[in-house]
Chain A
Amino acid sequence: MNDGAKMWPLPLRVIHWISAALVIVALALGTYMVWLVDDPAARFGLTQTHKSIGIAVLALTMLRLYLRIRTSAPGADPVAPSLPLLQSAAKAAHLFFYILLVMLPLSGWLMATTTPVRIPTRVFGLLDLPYPLAPDLAVFRFSHAVHVTAAILLAGLVALHVAAALVHALCWRDRTLRRMGMGS
């Protein structure tokens, strides 16, 4: 077991906060553009931005998983109450985060490649996302359902994650939140 008080490796801390910002923007933008934007030109542009952000999250998550496997993560903070059930729940939640962070961009990509309305995805206007599969309405509808479900689960998980971080910082007064920060 690692020392629970030590910091997360710097690259993982940086990726965590960039991902956090991108994920919140992508979730908000995706919800906003689908529910509230009635102007087709605006929807078209926002969808392009949403896709670019999603691909950035996917790339960051791949790098993150690689670093996570290569480097050691800090263990449970010794100051926090030692509750095996909560610690298992935390581990499961973090694993679920990684799964959703891969599933959401991949299901979005699957939507973009299988929709009959096949519009090129130029990631931040720089590179064209390859579309490996042919348009298929059934696969599109399936990937859309997966995308929406995963988005709702991810939003819930973000809320749970923030709540847990606040409990660590404010109730238990341990270093769990601080060790993901940029201080020491």
Chain B
Amino acid sequence: MRMSKRYRLAAALIFASMCGGALAAMAAQGWRIDEAHTLIGFKIDATGFPTTRGQFRHYTGRIAIDLDRPARSSTSFTVESASVDVGSQSYTDFVKSAALLHVAKFPTLSFASTQVEKLDPRTARVTGNLTMLGVTKPVALTVNVEPDPSANESSKQSSKRRLVAFSATGRIKRSDFGMIFGLPLIDDTIEITVKTRALTDE
């Protein structure tokens, strides 16, 4: 942790001294999550029951982007499991119960990236560890990256402010995490979707 932070700082300093610009110092740092444009959702199919789509309303997250060296980017999210919402009080209460999210015992779900890989200019693969029901497993997410979706507006106001929109999708097998309720009538696969925006303040 400390090593990588120091390394990142050193890299940023070297880069900054080379370019001499404020922009470079911003690499991998200074980004914050735009909460108004963040949605942490999931989808699960079942036999004899309609597809359930839900989301988590409370979370804390961190995104560090290095646009020039994407591999140095990282992210982590911690989601409040009790903030789940599947559309109604009674249904949500059931999803929170011991059969599924067991929020009384496991108050958070978390994801921390371990590797960021640029696939093409608009796509990255983010690998990381997902912790759910106290079990940690590696998960790979495909992330669509849209640099500066509002570039035209922001360039008029401030050329320094930067904005990147992300749309991440991935699939997990819930049985890997010990969530076996309803198998096989409720699918083992959960589709995860995270839409978010990261922006710099300046």
Residues of A within 8 A of B (CB): 37-45, 48, 115-119, 137
Contact = CB atoms under 8 A, between A and B. Distances in A.
Contact of A117 (B86, B88, B91, B182): B182
A45 B50 contact: no
Nearest to B92: A41
B50 A117 contact: no
A43 B86 contact: no
Contact of B183 (A41, A116, A119): A116
B183 A45 contact: no
Nearest to A48: B90
B87 A117 contact: no
A148 to B, nearest CB: 11
A41 B89 CA distance: 9
B186 interface: yes
A45 B91 contact: yes
Given A116-B184, A116-B185, A45 B90 contact: yes
Interface string B182-197: 1111100000000000
A105 to B, nearest CB: 20
Interface of B: 46, 49-53, 86-88, 90-92, 94, 99, 181-186
Contacts of B94: 44, 119
Nearest to A34: B48
A40 B50 CA distance: 5
Contacts of B99: 118
Contact of A40 (B52, B181, B185): B52
B52 A116 contact: no
Contact of B87 (A39, A115, A137): A39
B100 to A, nearest CB: 11
A41 B86 contact: yes
B189 to A, nearest CB: 16
A39 B88 CA distance: 10
B50 A43 contact: yes
Contacts of B49: 40, 43, 117
Nearest to A144: B48
A42 B87 CA distance: 8
29 contacts: A38-B50, A39-B87, A40-B51, A40-B53, A40-B86, A41-B87, A41-B88, A41-B90, A41-B91, A41-B92, A42-B87, A43-B49, A44-B90, A44-B91, A44-B94, A45-B90, A115-B185, A116-B182, A116-B183, A116-B184, A116-B185, A116-B186, A117-B181, A117-B182, A117-B185, A117-B186, A118-B181, A119-B94, A137-B184
A48 B92 CA distance: 14
A45 B87 CA distance: 11
Contacts of A43: 49-50
A39 B50 CA distance: 6
Between B88, B92, B186, the greatest number of chain A beta carbons within 10 A of the residue's beta carbon is seen for: B88
Contacts of B181: 116-118
A38 B50 CA distance: 6
Nearest to B90: A45
Contacts of A42: 87-88
